[in-house]
Amino acid sequence: MSRKEHPVWEEELMPYVDGQLDAAQASEIEKHLKECEECAAVIADARLLSKQMGTWVVENSPRGMDEHVLSEMEKKKGRRQQWAWWSRNRSWAFGLGGAFAAVALMVVLMPSHKDDLSNHFGDASRSVAGQINPAPLQRPAMPQDGNQQGQQGQQGQQGQQGQQTLDSLLAKTLPAAQSQPTAEAPSGPMIIRNARLSILTKEFEAARARIQAIVQQTQGYLDQLTVRGETGSGKSLSATLRLPSSQLESGLVELRKLGKVLEESQGSSDVTSQYVDLQARLTNARNTEQRLLALQRERTDKLTDVVGVEREIARVREEIERMEAQRKDVFNKTQFATIQVELSEEYRAEIQPSAPSAGTQLHNALVDGYHGALNSLLALALFFLRYGPALLLWAIVLVPVALLLRRRLQGLRIG
């Protein structure tokens, strides 16, 4: 069968049989079919085959299916209602929870506060240091949630391991009937907490050292620190501290002791739904990756198909890594509260050094006079050099005119 005799190949006839062509393409094939018995026979065969396949009829689904699916639907409905209750009453729950936490905190801190009043600053810091082991001032290892632990090693070495990782993943996940990594839902609300303190202190350097000590004691880290000091004003410090969320309150208590608190604010944002959504999307992407890996393993198609699957796997993996990073970021933000500290020094003007002696002043005057004379000579020379030629030119023009005028005036007087 040549292309000249048959402008359409047999393979191209199938979309016509299956109604997958647009009107223009279909009419072109219809035109050809009127002239070509061979192609018309192919179409007739395909239709007959479709009819024959239609003779294999299976029974309807058993009614027992309903029970299982509908019971699952009821369970889901229950979960949704619980979530809806949480969404409606979340603010109340947080409010009550916050109130209980505040009362508990007050009860816990009351005796130590009394001690603090009777002790010096250093004593108080020692008492805190006694409770918490000092840690070096460095960014601590981030806490790891369940999924992170599961992903350990896979993230960092992915580029090197290549096919090995792919195979190990495949081996790990495929045997399971449900090859879906289950997303771990957060056990409670996930809150990002932050606070801002503006403090005025008399002992700037001590306060600065104390900030670093607080960071160490709470096992947090110093995200950013800027110190400014200008003549005529006190020093100021701007720092961003990241303390474990559980240590936020104790950290704030210690920071307030640095001096006079000018301004304080606290805030929080609930990222539970964002985290759950991210988790769900991550699970979905991992499922897709597993499907693709299964395809890659089971298919022995053309090279272009295999390359296509591999490209898709790479894309999905990139997406998974991006979402995993976002999820870690959100998780870490909930684990470490942010405190923005603005520390200002109470400025005390310093006595200026004494005025210079008379000899020094005379010497200075003499030097200034010498420089002034030199400068005026130089200025005069510059003036003549700059304007001399122009003055000479005008003199050549104007002097004869002036002389002429003068003679005439004298002639008039005599006359």
User: Least CB distance from residue 190 to other proteins, whole Å?
Assistant: 17
CB of 145 to other proteins, least distance (A): 20
Helices (H), 152-263: 158-161, 163-173, 204-217, 248-256
The pattern of x and - marking residues 179 through 208 that bind other proteins according to CB under 8 A reads x-----------------------------
Instruction: Tell me how far, at minimum, the Cβ of 166 lies from other proteins, in Å.
Output: 16
Identify which of residues 223 and 312 has a Cβ nearer to other proteins in the complex. Answer: 312
Where does this chain touch other proteins (CB under 8 A) — which range of 284-292, 325-333, 367-375, 407-415? 284-292
Residues 6+ apart with CB under 8 A from 100: none
CA-to-CA distance for 40 and 392, rounded, in angstroms? 112
- Segment contacting other proteins by CB under 8 A, of 60-68, 98-106, 227-235, 380-388: 60-68
Residue 254: how many other CB atoms lie within 10 Å: 21
Among 274, 284, 332, 335, binds other proteins (CB under 8 A): 284
Rg of the chain taking only CA atoms, in angstroms:
44
CB of 317 to other proteins, least distance (A): 15
* Stretch binding other proteins (CB under 8 A), from 109-117, 190-198, 208-216, 296-304: 296-304
Give backbone dihedrals phi and psi of 150, rounded to 5 degrees, phi first: -65, -30
* Residue placing its CB nearer to other proteins in the complex, 64 or 136: 64
Q: Which is nearer to other proteins, 77 or 202 (CB)?
A: 77
Near other proteins in 305-344, by CB under 8 A: 305, 308-309, 312
User: Residue 211's closest CA among 222, 200, 202?
Assistant: 222
The verdict on 170 binding other proteins (CB under 8 A) reads no
Q: CB of residue 305 vs other proteins: minimum separation in angstroms?
A: 6
Contact between 95 and other proteins per CB under 8 A: no
DSSP 288: H
By CB under 8 A, tell whether 62 contacts other proteins: yes
Of 277, 271, 220, which is closest to residue 244 (Cα–Cα)? 220
Concatenate the DSSP letters of all residues of 382-409 into one string: HHHHHHHHHHHHHHHHHHHHHHHHHHHH
Q: Does 299 bind other proteins (CB under 8 A)?
A: yes
Of 10-29, which residues contact other proteins (CB under 8 A)?
Answer: 10-11, 14-15, 18, 20
Smallest gap, in angstroms, from Cβ of residue 289 to other proteins? 12
CB 211 within 8 A of CB 343: yes
- For 188: left if phi > 0, alpha if psi spans -120 to 50, otherwise beta; the answer is beta
Q: How near is the Cβ of 73 to other proteins at its closest, in Å?
A: 6
The three-state secondary structure class of 223 is: strand
Provide CB contacts within 8 A for 289, sequence distance 6+.
Answer: 169, 313, 316, 317, 320
Q: Which stretch binds other proteins (CB under 8 A): 153-161, 197-205, 292-300, 382-390?
A: 292-300
Q: Is 61 in the site for other proteins (CB under 8 A)?
A: yes
Q: Is 73 in the site for other proteins (CB under 8 A)?
A: yes
Q: Which is nearer to other proteins, 45 or 205 (CB)?
A: 45
If one asks whether residue 226 binds other proteins (CB under 8 A), the answer comes out as no
Smallest distance, other proteins to C-beta of residue 156, A: 28
Cβ 45 vs Cβ 75: under 8 Å: no
Question: How does strand 336-345 pair with strand 221-228?
Answer: unpaired
Site string for other proteins, 37-56 (x = CB under 8 A): --------xx--xx-xxxxx
Query: What whole-number distance in Å separates Cα of residue 22 and Cα of residue 208?
Result: 76
Name the strands in the sheet holding 236-244, side by side, starting at the edge strand that comes first in the sequence. 221-228, 236-244, 336-345, 191-201, 260-270
Q: Which is nearer to other proteins, 117 or 303 (CB)?
A: 303
Contact between 39 and 32 (Cβ < 8 Å):
yes
- Interacting residues toward other proteins by CB under 8 A: 10-11, 14-15, 18, 20, 45-46, 49-50, 52-62, 64-66, 68-70, 72-73, 76-77, 80, 174-179, 277, 280-281, 283-284, 291-292, 294-295, 298-299, 301-302, 304-305, 308-309, 312
